[in-house]
Amino acid sequence: MIGQGRLTGILLILGGIALGSVCSLWLVGNVGSGQLQFTGFILGLAGILILLVLPLIGAGVYLFIRGGQEVKEFAEVEKEQKLLNMVQTQGKARVQDLALSLNLTRDQVRDYIYDLVGKGLFIGYINWQDGILYAKEATQMQTTKCPNCGGVREMVGKGVVKCPYCGSELFIP
pLDDT of residue 3: 67
Least confident of 10-14, 30-34, 60-64, 118-122: 118-122
**pLDDT confidence of residue 158:** 58
Q: What is the pLDDT of residues 31-46, one digit of tens each?
A: 889 898 989 989 999 9
Query: In this predicted structure, what is the pLDDT of residue 138?
Result: 46
- Read off the pLDDT of residues 83-101 as tens digits, 9 standing for 90 and up: 888 888 888 888 899 999 8
How far is residue 64's CA from residue 114's CA, in Å, rounded to a whole number? 31
Q: Strand ranges (DSSP E) for 66-168?
A: 92-94, 124-127, 132-135, 154-157, 160-162
Tell me if 18 sits within 8 A of 52, measured CB to CB.
no
Residues 143 and 135: beta-carbon distance below 8 Å: no
Q: How confident is the model at residue 61 (pLDDT cuts 50, 70, 90)?
A: very high
Helix, strand, coil percentages (3-state) for the chain, rounded to 5, are 60, 15, 25
Is pLDDT larger for residue 7 or for residue 142?
7
Q: How far apart are alpha carbons 91 and 85 in whole angstroms? A: 10
Position 10 confidence tier, pLDDT thresholds 50, 70, 90:
very high
State yes or no: pLDDT of 126 exceeds 90: no
